[in-house]
Chains A and B, each alone.
Chain A
């Protein structure tokens, strides 16, 4: 039996371009758009591709790094294939045009991220075209960002609260430390450049929620709170992003992350990433509280109470 097709009734909304106020409505987001234009980088020239030096790594590390960087490319590609649906929602719901200007830049940034991750995998011996059969089975039927965004019954702010404010913030915090941990100059530069973009991606979510919160009902704010809780408890701490966090992690995935981390090519180790994740969730809780969203403490079988 196939899963029912999720609704995409956002696409039934009429075009709202009849009146288009292009003035600044959310100044913080307009500033981010301008910063993105000014700080755009070119993957061809911004990364010292000839300094990968794959010959310094063992075959085992090389294969793990190919898998790791291919995975990164697949993940970034999701933001190319799925996240533009947010743009449809901004336009069709007649949201502030600041969002659309910013999002156009964000999409191009995600393309750069996918491209450099693919190139890094290639430089390390070859990009993999797809996940393993087991991974494909595991993700089959999962509800992606596009499906969530095109369903009108899910308010846009709820999607932003979960996917942007929580998920992107944790990734940002981990990358911030990866810049320090990575020893390969190319990996380090890739993380640094991605971070430069991702800081805006995170701030976009928080700034928009701050802009919208005073106009939202108590029920809508509660939905945002629940989205944040679910993203932390059911996605982040369940190991969907970082395998070691799962109750029953796939040993091969954990091994890939550790080999790559030990080689200074990216990756993670539980003992290294655990404190980062804890600190990140605490910071998210503090930021959410600023919006009047009180997040509970979370329990994790390895990290304890957060």
Chain B
């Protein structure tokens, strides 16, 4: 078993696992996960009824701030949209393997819906703020082509290692970043959207932790070492690259400064982002908390999270 970087290579034909479907147990094996699945079913929100996009007072904003906030929300839309196919790919992967609990499959299906609703909301808010941007700033495109489908489906990557990296570690970091953004947001509509997205992300994080706990006690030491190595790989690919946290975007790459500036301006206007300093601190704190959490799961939390996380210092927004 290897880590997710290898799935990005196209040197060999893609290794898709073969499904073993029967016996097909659809019963509840992990009740707490089934409860979260039902909770998600009962709490789907929709942009039209639950958010008043027109209440965002765009007239008070100067052009630079509007454009910055539109880019910040566009970035959230790109990430949320990519999470839809990531969720469905993880769902298919869980179905390909015999004996994966239906409870987790069902939760993954709700995650796809939640991410679709989030993408829709972020797109509409970006539109309201002066225009959704379909394309990242030039030079940052690679940050947003993370190949989520291949990474979930590649049989060379152990699925439990995938689950821990994405649904425990990245979910924890996403949640921490969202909490920081909520705290910095004064606009009621933007804050309302972030709070709703946060509730869904928290539920998915809880589900990921419950499932990891249920699975990891079956793993031997070698398999646990693989899980740890994959966490390191995924944090590097998805967080330290700047993909999920703009504080880590290299300001010297073309377009990097624009992404960073957009976050700062949006944060200062209270429109849905945290400052880069706050984002970097949120990731550092999340990784510190994960150290202990991963230890409790029988993994090497220290190795998984001892990553140089100091982001480049932010420049003045203006």
**B87 cross-chain contacts in A, Cβ below 8 A:** 104
Which residue of the partner chain, among A12, A37, A87, contacts B10 with CB atoms under 8 Å?
Answer: A12
Known: A12-B14, A100-B116. A37 touches B144 (CB 8 A): no
Which residue of the partner chain, among B82, B92, B116, B119, contacts A81 with CB atoms under 8 Å?
Answer: B92
Q: In the assembly, what is the distance between CA of A40 and CA of B190, in Å?
A: 24
Query: Quick one: CB contact mask for B298-318 with A, threshold 8 Å, 1 for yes?
Result: 000000000000000000000
Judging by beta carbons under 8 Å apart, are B85 and A19 in contact?
Answer: no
Q: In the assembly, what is the distance between CA of A118 and CA of B41, in Å?
A: 17
Judging by beta carbons under 8 Å apart, are A42 and B26 in contact?
Answer: no
**Segment of B128-136, B230-238, B283-291 engaged in the interface with chain A:** B128-136
**A23 cross-chain contacts in B, Cβ below 8 A:** 123, 132
**B22 cross-chain contacts in A, Cβ below 8 A:** 129-131, 136
Closest to A5 in B: B18
Question: B181: CB under 8 A from chain A?
Answer: no
Q: How far is the CB of A153 from chain B (nearest CB, A)?
A: 15
Q: In the assembly, what is the distance between CA of A288 and CA of B46, in Å?
A: 33
Q: In the assembly, what is the distance between CA of A133 and CA of B62, in Å?
A: 70
**B116 cross-chain contacts in A, Cβ below 8 A:** 33, 100-101, 104-105
**A92 cross-chain contacts in B, Cβ below 8 A:** 149
Interface residues in A78-93 (C-beta closer than 8 Å to B)? 80-82, 84-85, 87-88, 91-92
Interface residues in B32-77 (C-beta closer than 8 Å to A)? 38, 41-42, 44, 46, 48-49, 77
Q: In the assembly, what is the distance between CA of A77 and CA of B100, in Å?
A: 14
Question: B113: CB under 8 A from chain A?
Answer: yes
**B48 cross-chain contacts in A, Cβ below 8 A:** 34, 38
Judging by beta carbons under 8 Å apart, are A80 and B105 in contact?
Answer: yes
Query: Quick one: CB contact mask for A89-115 with B, threshold 8 Å, 1 for yes?
Result: 001100001001101110110111011
Chain A interface residue count, Cβ-Cβ cutoff 8 angstroms: 57
Q: In the assembly, what is the distance between CA of A107 and CA of B16, in Å?
A: 21
Interface residues in B89-113 (C-beta closer than 8 Å to A)? 89, 91-92, 95-96, 105-106, 109-110, 112-113
Question: B19: CB under 8 A from chain A?
Answer: yes
Closest to A92 in B: B149
**A107 cross-chain contacts in B, Cβ below 8 A:** 88, 91, 109, 112-113
Q: In the assembly, what is the distance between CA of A87 and CA of B132, in Å?
A: 23
Question: A56: CB under 8 A from chain B?
Answer: no
**A34 cross-chain contacts in B, Cβ below 8 A:** 46, 48
Question: A259: CB under 8 A from chain B?
Answer: no
Judging by beta carbons under 8 Å apart, are B38 and A77 in contact?
Answer: no
Closest to B89 in A: A88
Q: How far is the CB of A33 from chain B (nearest CB, A)?
A: 7
Judging by beta carbons under 8 Å apart, are A87 and B27 in contact?
Answer: no
Q: How far is the CB of B119 from chain A (nearest CB, A)?
A: 7
What are 22 A-B contacts with C-beta separation under 8 Å? A11-B16, A17-B82, A18-B141, A38-B46, A42-B38, A84-B89, A84-B91, A87-B85, A88-B85, A88-B89, A88-B149, A91-B85, A92-B149, A101-B116, A104-B84, A107-B88, A108-B109, A108-B110, A111-B106, A127-B26, A131-B22, A146-B92
